Copies of this chain bind each other. A is one copy, B any other.
Amino acid sequence: MPRRPPALSVEPPRATIADVARAAGVHPSTVSRALNPDTRAMVTDAVAVRVAEAAEQLGWRPSMLAAGLRTRRSRTIGILVPDLVNPVFPPIVHAAEVRLAEAGYATLVANTDNDPDREAMMIERMAGHLVDGLMLASAAKGSQAVDLCRRRRIPTVLINRRLPGAEFSAVTNDDRHGMALAVEHLVALGHRRIAHLAGPSGISTAVDRRSGFRSAVRAAGLDPDLMPIMAADAYTIEAGRCAMERLLELGGFTAVAVANDLLALGAYDALGAAGLRVGPDVSVTGFNDMPFVDRISPPLTTIRIQHAEMGGRAAGLLLAAITEPATSRTDILLQPKLVVRHSTAAPEA
């Protein structure tokens, strides 16, 4: 008795253009033309239909790989983020994805974990996969990312973080102004001794927010050199806690302007551990307005950046760079705004 093949049979090896050609009784090149939307016009309708049917029949799928080997394009964009666990990034990535999808591009995300070596590796990898463009949210001093992209001629845009010498377009926040907003808010509440919990050196957001802090303090008629400043060594809650602890040892402030929301959460922890209430005892401002900081206790007063705008604009710039490689660099500076919640209050009399 003949056995029937099992229901969940594994298919034979992928059909290729050659297989389709054989089935349709035409030459492989004809199949290539018939199956490629851009060249279908070169082929008789009758042939096109016959080929399409054969392809359908055989379950032919284009191999982007083989195609890419010739065309060197993949309609895929890579996005490198320094830390996927940081909730600022997903909304930015998502906005970019939406915009890129509209233009027919798929998006692949890679996590560099703030490690320049991993970053370089992922760029190599993405380049190897022939991404048509790259969005770098992971830029940091000492990273060779930009150089790699330039050498490999990968259209690239920087997001969220600037990089001094880079010749790529960038979409960033006006970090100096954002931090000024925070300082002005604290000063308006009556604070005169304001600490700054800075981000890791080497990252533009940290540098700019820090210099923005000093300028704003000076603009308020205070002496920046009197304000305690402590840099965290990563944009993480833990690093924020450590830095805040050291700031507390220094003392001499009634408010602290923190360089980002994750660090601010760490500051909450250190303050809490020291028996201080955020708001009534010490005012805290964050930066980013990342998801959920409006729901924490106390709700964080912070500087809201335009997440969606950032992703969307960066995607637009990248698409432009891809279709018009000669286009000169464009920088977009997004304006953040202050969102007052309950982590800030007037200093105690």
User: A residues touching B (Cβ–Cβ < 8 Å)?
Assistant: 8, 10-11, 14, 59, 61-66, 68-69, 74, 76, 84-85, 87, 90-91, 93-94, 97, 101, 106-111, 113, 118, 121-122, 124-125, 127-130, 150-153, 167, 265, 268, 291-292, 295-299
Contact = CB atoms under 8 A, between A and B. Distances in A.
This chain: copies in complex: 2
A116 to B, nearest CB: 15
A301 B265 CA distance: 20
Given A129-B76, A295-B297, A153 B65 contact: no
A85 B76 contact: no
A64, A69, A108, A298, most chain B CB atoms within 10 A: A108
A76 B91 CA distance: 25
Given A94-B84, A109-B109, A65 B128 contact: yes
A272 to B, nearest CB: 10
B8 A150 contact: yes
Contacts of A151: 10-11, 59
A90, A130, A167, A291, most chain B CB atoms within 10 A: A90
A265, A297, A298, most chain B CB atoms within 10 A: A297
Contacts of A64: 125, 128-129
The 7 closest A-B pairs by CB, nearest first: A64-B128, A297-B297, A109-B109, A84-B90, A295-B296, A85-B90, A108-B108
A107 B110 contact: yes
Contacts of A150: 8, 10
A268 B299 CA distance: 15
B167 A10 contact: no
A150 B11 CA distance: 9
A295 to B, nearest CB: 4
Contact of A292 (B69, B296, B298): B296
